[in-house]
Amino acid sequence: MTGPPGTELLSDLGRARDEVGEVLEVQLLGGGLVEITARLPHLAATARPGEFAQLRAWQGVEPLLRRPFSVAWTEGDRCAFVLEAVGSGTRMLVALRPGDALRSLGPLGNGFGFDPCPARALVVSGGLGCAPFPLLVRALRRAGCPDVTVLSGAATGARLYPAERFRRGDGGVAVLEATDDGSRGHRGRVTDLVASRCDAATIVYACGPNVMLAALASTLAGLAGPPRRAEVSLEAPMGCGFGTCLGCALPVVAGGGPDAPREHGTAWALCCRSGPVMEVSRVAWPELLALPPAHVA
Amino acid sequence: MTGGHPDLSVDLGRGLVLPNPVGLASGTAGYGFELRRLIDIDRLGALFTKGTTLRPRPGNPPPRVAEVRGGMLNSIGLHNPGVEHVAAVYAPEFARWSVPVVVNVAGGSVDDYLLCLRRLEDAPGIAGYELNISCPNIEGGMDYGQDAAAAARLVAAARALTSRHLMVKLSPNVTDIAEVARAVAGAGADSVSAVNTFVGMKVHRGIRAPVLPGRGTGGLSGPAIKPLGLAAVARVRAAVRIPVIGVGGIMDAGDAVEYMIAGADAVQVGTATFVDPGAALAVLDGLRDAAPGLRARPAAALRGGTVPPAGVEPASTG
C-alpha cells in the first residue's frame, strides 16, 4: 500500500490456470439465483475461499469479456458458482446445459483470511453475496473453528440461498436468516443481527451489495467491543481479472506514505489484485457508495 | 533460438530486432509481471509497457471499463507507478527477460516526456521507447497526436535525447493520420504503431447517463475496431517508409495476417489478452503455421513484396 499505484501486492497468480471443463448441473434455486456445477479439476484443487474465476461459455466475441465469479464450493474435481442472469454473459451462463463446455481462468484474487483460525466466525451474506461462503464455511470448520454462524439476508425468502447449502452437511454450522419483507426469518436487514453476535474473538466475513457492506462497516465501527477483524468481498466492473487492464479500481483509504499519490482524496486499489476480499477498514465507504452499481457497466 | 521454426524476426531499425512480429500492446500487459505468471512471455516478439509518466498517477475514478458490442471502452487514466519506479525497480527485471521490453512513455508536456526519457536512458533492459502521443483519457494527452507540427517537435526533441529505438503510437482520432505519420517520421521516429483506441461512449438508459465518469468517453478497443485499424495502417503504410506496427482488434492469427497484408511489419495484441492471456502466443503460433513457406520478413512476403522491406530507410535526425 505504500508503493506507487500499480505496485500493490500481487495476488497469487502462480496458481491460476486456463482450463476447459464441463457443465454437470444447472440448478434454479428460486428468486433468480442459479447454481452451476462444473467439472474443473484445477480450479477445484486450488481455489481458496473468496477467490474467483473468470468464466466463459461461448465462442466468438459477443459478449467479449469473461465474467468473474466467486468459487462457491468445491468437491473432488467439481466446482460450483452461484449467479443471476443480469446481463448478456450471465444470461448465457444460466442457459448452459449439462455437457456444455465451460472455460475457467483461476483461481484469481485474494481470498478470506482464517489463519490463525478465529474462535468465532460470523459470516454475513446478502443476496448473491452468498456466492463465496459455502467454501469458506467448510474451510473454517476444517481449520477447527468451533463457532461458525451464517447470517443470511435477502430481499425476500425466495431469494435466500438455501441454508443447507451453506452447511453442506455440517450440523455444527448455524444459519440465521433475515428478509427485507419479513417473508422468512428476521424482518429487516441482515446487518441488524451482527452486533449481538460479535465479540473480540470474532472474525466477520461479509459479501453482498455495497449498501449492505457499508451498513455493516458502520455497525462494526459503532460497537463497544469491535471484532478481531472484518473482511468484505467486493466487486467491480472487470476487464481481465489478473491485474493488467487496471479497470476494476475501487476507492480505498489513502493509507500510503506522504508521497502516495491520490486524487479526489481517495486512492484506488484493483478489485482483482488487492481484492476482491479486503479488510473493512481499508475501503473508502462513502466513495464506494457514490459509485454507480457495478452491473451498470 | 527458433528451433526449426522459420525465422520470423523483424528488424525495426536502430537496434530493435523483434524475435517475431507479435507483441503485447501497451495498456494490456502492465509491465509484464502478471502475464509472466500466466504465460511464457519470453516467446513473444515484444512487450509494450503500460503508459509511463514522469510522476506516479493513481488513474481515473471507476468505473474505468465498460463492455460494448464487439469491444470495450476504457478510461484508465494512465494509472502507473511513475518513471522512477519503472527505471529503478522494473527495468533491472526487464534486463533478465528475453522478450524485448519497449517502454511506452506518456506525458502532458514536452518537458514531461523528455524528463521521463532521460530517466529511462540510464536504466537497463529497455529495448526502445513507444511515445504515447495519443492517450484519449487524460487532459492534454492527445494534443500531440492531433497536431502534426507539435508531434514533430516532440519527436525531434526525443530523437536528440536517445539513440534507442523510438516508436510513435499514433492516434486514430485525427482527420488525417498520414499527415501525423509523415511528420513524426520526418522528425526522426524509427517506427510508428497504429492505432491507439478510438474515442467512444456507452450510454446507460437506466441511469440516463454515460457509463464512464467524467466526460463520459473512453477508448474503444477490441474486434469492433479492426476494420478501422486496418484502414489506418494502410494509410500510414502508404505515407511513410519506416516500419509500421499494426494494432487494433487482433483476436487471432488471421487478424494479424490481415494487418500485415495492409502494411504492418509487426503487430500488437491488446484486448484479446484480457479474454485469453495466451491470445498473443496463439497468434504467434498461428502465424508460424500460416507461414511455413515464408523465410524471413513474413510481412513483406504476405504483401507480395510490393512494399519496401522495413528499416532500410535511415531515420532522419530531424
Condensed to tens digits (0 to 9), the pLDDT of residues B57-107 reads: 999 999 999 999 999 999 999 999 999 999 999 999 999 999 999 999 999
Q: Between chains, do B74 and A244 touch, taking CB under 8 Å as contact?
A: no
pLDDT value at position A154? 97
CATH fold of B10-60+79-199+222-305? TIM Barrel (3.20.20)
Who's near A39: CB < 8 A, 6+ residues apart? Answer: A21, A22, A24, A77, A78
Contacts of A238 in chain B (CB under 8 A): 65
> Best of A10, A13, A58, A240 to disrupt the B interface by mutation (most B CBs within 10 Å)?
A240
pLDDT value at position B153? 94
Contacts of B47 in chain A (CB under 8 A): none
Is residue A200 assigned to a domain? no
Whether the pLDDT of residue A125 is over 80: the answer is yes
Q: Between chains, do A243 and B30 touch, taking CB under 8 Å as contact?
A: yes
Instruction: Say if the ipTM goes beyond 0.85.
Output: yes
Q: What is the residue extent of each domain of chain B?
A: 10-60+79-199+222-305
Q: Between chains, do B58 and A66 touch, taking CB under 8 Å as contact?
A: no
Least confident of A31-45, A129-143, B212-226, B288-302: B288-302
Nearest residue, CB atoms, B59 vs list A5, A66, A292:
A5
| Cβ–Cβ under 8 Å, residues A90 and A56 | no
Who's near B298: CB < 8 A, 6+ residues apart? Answer: B6, B8, B21, B260, B287, B291
pLDDT value at position A14? 87
**CA gap B274, B204 in Å, rounded:** 23
Who's near B175: CB < 8 A, 6+ residues apart? Answer: none
| Cβ–Cβ under 8 Å, residues A40 and A17 | no
| Cβ–Cβ under 8 Å, residues B71 and A64 | yes
Nearest CA in chain B to A292: B63
**Residue A1 forms contact with B (CB below 8 Å):** no
What percentage of residues in chain A have a pLDDT greater than 90? 86
- Is the dihedral angle over the CA atoms B76, B78, B84, B89 positive or is it negative? positive
Q: Between chains, do B81 and A3 touch, taking CB under 8 Å as contact?
A: yes
Is residue A73 assigned to a domain? yes
What's the domain range around A98? Answer: 13-108
pLDDT value at position B254? 95
The total of structural domains in chain A comes to 1
Is residue A51 assigned to a domain? yes
Q: List the CATH number of the domain containing A69.
A: 2.40.30.10
Q: Which amino acid is at B235?
A: R
Q: Between chains, do B30 and A264 touch, taking CB under 8 Å as contact?
A: no
> Best of B104, B274, B276, B281 to disrupt the A interface by mutation (most A CBs within 10 Å)?
B274
- Mean pLDDT computed over A21-41: 97
For residue B248, give how far its alpha carbon lies from the nearest alpha carbon of chain A (Å). Answer: 14
> Best of B64, B75, B86 to disrupt the A interface by mutation (most A CBs within 10 Å)?
B64
- Mean pLDDT computed over A269-291: 94
β A229-233/A267-270 pair status: unpaired
Contacts of B223 in chain A (CB under 8 A): 61, 64
pLDDT value at position B142? 57
Contacts of B88 in chain A (CB under 8 A): none
**Residue A171 forms contact with B (CB below 8 Å):** no
Q: Which of B229, B176, B192, B245 lies closest to B23, judged by CA? A: B245
Q: How is residue B4 written as a grid cell?
A: 526449426
Nearest residue, CB atoms, A246 vs list B64, B66, B276:
B64
For residue B153, give the 3-state DSSP assignment. Answer: helix
| Residue A3 backbone phi and psi in degrees, to 5 | -80, 175
For chain B, how long is the longest CA-to-CA vector?
A: 58
Nearest residue, CB atoms, B30 vs list A244, A267, A294:
A244
Residue A4, CA atoms < 13 Å, CB-side half-sphere:
19
Nearest CA in chain B to A254: B58
Res. A65 pLDDT band, cuts 50 70 90: very high
Secondary structure element (H or E) that encloses residue B149, with its range: helix B148-161
Who's near A91: CB < 8 A, 6+ residues apart? Answer: A85
For residue B137, give how far its alpha carbon lies from the nearest alpha carbon of chain A (Å). Answer: 13
Contacts of A67 in chain B (CB under 8 A): none
Q: Between chains, do A5 and B211 touch, taking CB under 8 Å as contact?
A: no
Residue B175 burial (CB < 10 Å; 0-12/13-18/19+)?
exposed
For residue B182, give how far its alpha carbon lies from the nearest alpha carbon of chain A (Å). Answer: 31
> Best of B57, B67, B201 to disrupt the A interface by mutation (most A CBs within 10 Å)?
B67
pLDDT value at position A181? 97
Q: Between chains, do A245 and B58 touch, taking CB under 8 Å as contact?
A: no
Q: Between chains, do B56 and A5 touch, taking CB under 8 Å as contact?
A: yes
For residue B232, give how far its alpha carbon lies from the nearest alpha carbon of chain A (Å). Answer: 22
Is residue A19 assigned to a domain? yes
| Cβ–Cβ under 8 Å, residues B85 and A7 | yes
Res. A12 pLDDT band, cuts 50 70 90: confident
Q: Between chains, do A7 and B85 touch, taking CB under 8 Å as contact?
A: yes
Catalytic residue among B114, B135, B154, B167: B135
For residue A236, give how far its alpha carbon lies from the nearest alpha carbon of chain B (Å). Answer: 8
Let me know if B135 is a catalytic residue.
yes
Q: Between chains, do B62 and A291 touch, taking CB under 8 Å as contact?
A: yes
Is residue A77 assigned to a domain? yes
For residue A218, give how far its alpha carbon lies from the nearest alpha carbon of chain B (Å). Answer: 23
pLDDT value at position A6? 54
Q: Between chains, do B69 and A62 touch, taking CB under 8 Å as contact?
A: yes
For residue B61, give how far its alpha carbon lies from the nearest alpha carbon of chain A (Å). Answer: 7
- Asked whether the bond before A63 is cis by omega within 30 degrees of 0, the reply is yes
> Best of B55, B275, B281 to disrupt the A interface by mutation (most A CBs within 10 Å)?
B275
From residue A226, how far is each of A198, A210, A278 by CA, in Å?
Answer: 7, 21, 17
Helix-strand-coil percent breakdown of chain A, rounded to 5?
25, 35, 45
**CA gap A180, A223 in Å, rounded:** 23
In this predicted model, what pLDDT tens digit does every residue of A227-239 receive, in sequence order?
Answer: 999 999 999 999 9
Q: Which of B119, B120, B241 lies closest to B184, judged by CA? A: B241
Under-50 pLDDT residues of chain B? 1-2, 295-296, 305-318
**Residue A6 forms contact with B (CB below 8 Å):** yes
Is residue A176 assigned to a domain? no
pLDDT value at position A263? 46
